[in-house]
Structure 1
Amino acid sequence: MSKFDKIRPYYDTEVNHALKELVNHPMMKAMMNFAYPNLDDAIWKEQLLRTYSIRDFQINFAYQAIKKILEKTSDGLTTSGFEKLEPNTAYYFISNHRDIILDTSLLNVCLFDHDLIMTASAIGDNLVKKDFLLKLSKLNRNFLVQRGLPPRELLQSSKLLSEYMYHLVSRENRSVWIAQREGRTKDGNDATHQGVLKMIAMANDEKDVMDFFKKIKLVPVSISYEYDPTDALKMPQLMAEANDEIYIKEKNEDFITLLSGIIGQKKRIHIHVGDVLEQEIDQIKAENDNNNKQIQALAQAIDDSILQSYKLWPTNFIAYDLLHNTTTYSSMYTEKEKQLFERRLELRINADDTKQKESFLAMYANPVINKLKYQEIETN
């Protein structure tokens, strides 16, 4: 399958060679010392050099590292919906996206804990420009989404990506993860971009595109963090967009964001996997015979699942009340929680800048506003 070589993760036959190249890298040492603080370097190095498959690397090293990250930077991870998934079955997970590395890593931890097939996951090639990160991502079964291409090359790249993801699900029985939009959601408004669905459908081998989406077992995933460890880092881009300015990233911005997401405090985290979109797709097919309208309706069905199942935290309700100058949801948080959030606001942004303050609060408040479109939120 050499046509996928530009974007695919390592084959198992390539894993040991890659690990030999990485074993003495200072970043590997830092990662291992974090995951195994009481283990002598010689022991983990020996174990690493005896690793010959992605699964072994993920279970023996990546899984332990993520567990340690959860232990040190969160108040725990809860889940719902995983019990509805079938073992030995590949799913096409489409998810809201808040953190570069953790969203997929945490999903894989949950899949492994529930004896389900772990995912191959999409990652932008702009995020793994450093050789160490590229190798590590390929060891973690990430495949590359090529960014910044001219239109003709972008079309070819999209076709290749679509074909590869379909190949994984249909031929290798490997689950796939992709974000519902290009890049992370920075304003708290999770929405599925139709362009992502159109890209997925490029591999369509059915007469009807909805039959294709039904065949790949599309599952919406909702992930919510009580505190977004990269909230303040998202502000410059939000401010630029608010002022109709073109935002240009700093040289190491993606890398700093990636690290901040891993080591920053998150408090509680929740992941919900929705139902496989089958009845919804049947209904879309019955009601629409226009491809564009079908894609539009499918994007809405994914949004409905993600937004309704999004776990709201005290931080969301505090931000809503502060933003709207109300006490509507005061029963959903304590005074101490409010003080901690306000302190975070003061430390992380210029609270005297009204626009910036409103954008920061909206980032946390928008999930409440989105949930209200579906149901009244009962206050205790």
Structure 2
Amino acid sequence: MSKFDHIRPYYDSEVNEAIRSVVHHPMMKALMSFTFPDVEEAVWTEQLKKTHSKRDFQINFIYQAIQMVLKKSSEGLTTSGFEKLDNHTPYLYISNHRDIILDTSLINVSLYDHKLIMTASAIGDNLVQKAFLHTLSRLNRNFLVQRSLSPRELLQSSKLMSEYIYQLLSRENRSVWIAQREGRTKDGNDTTQQGVLKMLAMASDEENLMDYFKKMKIVPVSISYEYDPTDMLKMPRLVAEANDEIYIKEKNEDFMTLISGIMGQKKRIHIQVGDVLDGELDRIKEEHDNQNKQIQALAQVIDDSILTSYKLWPTNYIAYDLLNNTDQFASHYTEKEKQLFERRLEMRIDIENKIVREGFLAMYANPVVNKMKYQNV
């Protein structure tokens, strides 16, 4: 028994048995029928039963599923920066977080395309309550972030996860993906939660924390969708917060968001990989000897990388202009693009509700606001 057993993905020796336990599940059938619409069920069933490793499962099935998602619900994925990375080096990718499944899936598709080490990826256990999804996540090399714990349990869980992430990077030569914050960004403001970095630091045995983070080879990643397929679903929470109310999720909300994120229209998608953090960590080490200050400075460095490299789309500029009643960025979009966005606005929300309208527009406009802090956009 390993102390990581309740959070880790399957070992390859467990993969075939796990696949056989779900091969006839209705959700597996739906996933495979979507991925291979012209292939008979008996064919993909047989292929699944012959699969004995996570890598084979990811490449032969999940990779193909994501390609179909891109084909059906987007106008394509572009990337930049992956060519700077070394094919044999494991990295800790810290990215902004817009979509439950796609953020990490698209990054892994890009890593595979660039012949780089794919990631083990953090996923909240609230998203895999259904037994089938739990099995699928473990086959897809996800490890569990435990939610809804008491403060004492949370501390123990965080330490365990910190140790596991370091083991993946240092002993198993496995890259790791983790979001910069717990939960998706709801308002378009991508910021790194210091708590995430404190969790990562818990396994450190270095005298100086920055030396530990240097060993992890942190790579900030920025992912942007022209349309957020879950934009409308984020509105109830924003309204509750605007009214100082506690937001309570609907029973199947996480699952519905997961499906909407995968199948909803995204138009264009871009992933930008930043540089491996190195000199920045030396600078933080020189300027701060207090750990909290170091964590604060590191969060800012990650934010700087993600926000400056975030790809802005016409939708972002249109939303900014509509929200601020200006035409400041009119040169960045066409009249047709503006009309399409306004139609989407009318179809997805009650535009008479000022809080909802402003919240919806701000979600798309805030990346422009954030980028303006760094440069003229």
Instruction: Bin the TM-score by the shorter chain.
Output: over 0.9
Matched, 1:54 2:61: no
SS in 2 for 1:341: helix
**Shift of the alpha carbon at 1:124?**
0.3
Equivalent in the alignment of 1:308: 308
Cα separation, 2, equivalents of 1:187 and 1:4: 34
Equivalent in the alignment of 2:69: 69
Cα separation, 2, equivalents of 1:153 and 1:327: 51
Equivalent in the alignment of 2:20: 20
Equivalent in the alignment of 1:161: 161
Matched, 1:175 2:138: no
Map 1:234-253 onto structure 2 (within 5 A): 234-253=234-253
Which letter maps to 1:176?
V
- Runs (4+) off by over 2 Å: none
Equivalent in the alignment of 2:211: 211
Q: Deviations over 1:115-138 (max 9, x none)?
A: 000000000000000001000000
Cα separation, 1, equivalents of 2:164 and 2:2: 11
SS in 1 for 2:361: helix
SS in 1 for 2:120: strand
Which letter maps to 1:245?
E
Matched, 1:187 2:216: no
**Shift of the alpha carbon at 1:244?**
1.0
Equivalent in the alignment of 1:103: 103
Q: Deviations over 1:140-178 (max 9, x none)?
A: 000000000001010000000000000000000000000
SS in 2 for 1:3: coil
Map 1:130-145 onto structure 2 (within 5 A): 130-145=130-145
**Shift of the alpha carbon at 1:233?**
0.2
Matched, 1:37 2:37: yes
Cα separation, 1, equivalents of 2:278 and 2:11: 32
The normalised TM-score by structure 1 is: 0.99
Matched, 1:345 2:345: yes
Cα separation, 1, equivalents of 2:316 and 2:234: 17
The normalised TM-score by structure 2 is: 1.00
Q: Deviations over 1:69-121 (max 9, x none)?
A: 00110000000100000011100010100000000000000000000000000
Equivalent in the alignment of 1:358: 358
Which letter maps to 1:265?
Q
Q: Deviations over 1:231-285 (max 9, x none)?
A: 0000001111111111110000000000000000000000011000101101111
Which letter maps to 2:161?
L
Cα separation, 2, equivalents of 1:72 and 1:286: 50
Cα separation, 2, equivalents of 1:360 and 1:272: 24
Cα separation, 2, equivalents of 1:187 and 1:346: 19
SS in 2 for 1:123: strand
Equivalent in the alignment of 1:152: 152
SS in 2 for 1:221: strand
Cα separation, 1, equivalents of 2:223 and 2:75: 15
Cα separation, 1, equivalents of 2:241 and 2:199: 26
Q: Deviations over 1:15-50 (max 9, x none)?
A: 000110111011111111111000000000000000
Matched, 1:117 2:117: yes
**Percent sequence identity over aligned pairs:** 74
Which letter maps to 1:104?
T
Equivalent in the alignment of 1:197: 197
Equivalent in the alignment of 2:271: 271
Cα separation, 2, equivalents of 1:235 and 1:99: 15
Equivalent in the alignment of 2:81: 81
**Root mean square deviation, CA, Å:** 0.5
Which letter maps to 1:59?
I
Cα separation, 2, equivalents of 1:141 and 1:209: 28
Decide which moves more: 237-246 or 37-46. Answer: 237-246
SS in 2 for 1:69: helix
Cα separation, 1, equivalents of 2:191 and 2:86: 27
Equivalent in the alignment of 1:257: 257
Give unpaired runs (5+ residues) of structure 2: none
Matched, 1:9 2:29: no
SS in 2 for 1:357: helix
**Shift of the alpha carbon at 1:205?**
1.7
Which letter maps to 2:95?
S
Which letter maps to 1:151?
P
Cα separation, 2, equivalents of 1:30 and 1:356: 34
Give unpaired runs (5+ residues) of structure 1: none
**Shift of the alpha carbon at 1:201?**
0.2
Equivalent in the alignment of 1:295: 295
Cα separation, 2, equivalents of 1:316 and 1:365: 5
Which letter maps to 2:277?
L
**Shift of the alpha carbon at 1:57?**
0.2
SS in 2 for 1:79: strand
Cα separation, 2, equivalents of 1:344 and 1:9: 39
Which letter maps to 2:101?
I
Cα separation, 1, equivalents of 2:164 and 2:60: 27
SS in 2 for 1:4: coil
Cα separation, 2, equivalents of 1:321 and 1:104: 31
SS in 1 for 2:202: helix
Decide which moves more: 203-212 or 301-310. Answer: 203-212
Cα separation, 1, equivalents of 2:25 and 2:310: 39
